[in-house]
Chain A
Amino acid sequence: MAERLTPMLVGAMSFLAALAIAGALAASSLAGRWAQDSGTALTVQIPQPDNPAAAGGANRLQAVLAILQVAPDVSAVRKLSGDEINALLKPWLGADAGQLALPVPAVISAVWSGGGEPDSLRGALDAAAPGTLAETGVRWAARVAALTGSLQASALAVLVIVAFVASAVISVATHAGLAQRRETIAIVHGLGALDSDIAGRFAVRATVLATAGAIIGTACALPVLFWLATLAAPFSGVLPDEGTAQLPFALWVALPAVPVAAAVIGWMTTQVTVRGWLRRMV
Chain B
Amino acid sequence: MVRFENVWLKYRHEGEASLASSPDVIRDMSFDIPEGGFRWLTGPSGAGKTSLLKLMYLAEHPSRGRIELLGTNAARVSRREAAMLRRRIGVIYQDFRLLPHLSAYDNVALPMRLARKAEGQVRADVTELLRWVGLSGKLDRRPYELSGGEQQRIAIARAVVGRPKLLLADEPTGNLDEEQAERLMLLITGLNGMGTTVVVATHNLALVDRHPAPRLNLFAGRLVNDG
Contact = CB atoms under 8 A, between A and B. Distances in A.
Contacts of A194: 79-80, 83
B86 A192 contact: yes
Contacts of A184: 99
Contacts of B114: 188, 191-193, 197
Interface in B132-172: 158, 162
A282 B84 contact: no
A192 B97 contact: no
Interface string A52-79: 0000000000000000000000000000
Contacts of A192: 83-84, 86-87, 111, 114-115, 162
Contacts, number: 45
A195 interface: yes
B87 A191 contact: yes
Contacts of A189: 83, 86
B181 interface: no
Nearest to A197: B114
Interface in B39-95: 57-61, 79-80, 83-84, 86-87, 91
B79 A195 contact: yes
B108 to A, nearest CB: 11
B112 to A, nearest CB: 10
A192 B70 CA distance: 15
A187 interface: yes
A223 interface: no
B9 to A, nearest CB: 13
Nearest to A281: B59
A190 interface: yes
Given A184-B99, A282-B58, A282-B59, A191 B111 contact: yes
Interface string B187-218: 00000000000000000000000000000000
Given A184-B99, A197-B114, A190 B57 contact: yes
A279 B80 CA distance: 12
B117 to A, nearest CB: 12
B110 interface: yes
A188 to B, nearest CB: 7
Contacts of B57: 190
A187 B79 contact: no
A53 B110 CA distance: 100
Contacts of B158: 191
Contact of B110 (A186, A191, A278, A279): A191
Nearest to B14: A280
A184 B99 CA distance: 7
B83 A188 contact: no
A194 B84 CA distance: 8
A194 B86 CA distance: 10
Interface in A191-214: 191-195, 197
Nearest to B61: A282
Given A195-B79, A197-B114, A190 B59 contact: yes
Interface in A267-282: 278-279, 282
A193 B99 contact: no
Interface string A10-43: 0000000000000000000000000000000000
A279 B79 CA distance: 9
Interface in A231-279: 278-279
B83 A195 contact: yes
Given A184-B99, A197-B114, A282-B59, A191 B86 contact: yes
Interface of A: 183-184, 186-195, 197, 278-279, 282
In the A-B complex, the 8 residue pairs with the closest CB atoms: A192-B87, A192-B86, A191-B111, A194-B83, A187-B97, A193-B114, A192-B83, A192-B114
Interface of B: 57-61, 79-80, 83-84, 86-87, 91, 97, 99, 110-111, 114-115, 158, 162
20 contacts: A186-B97, A188-B99, A188-B110, A188-B114, A189-B83, A189-B86, A190-B59, A190-B86, A191-B111, A192-B83, A192-B84, A192-B86, A192-B114, A192-B162, A193-B114, A194-B79, A194-B80, A195-B79, A282-B58, A282-B60
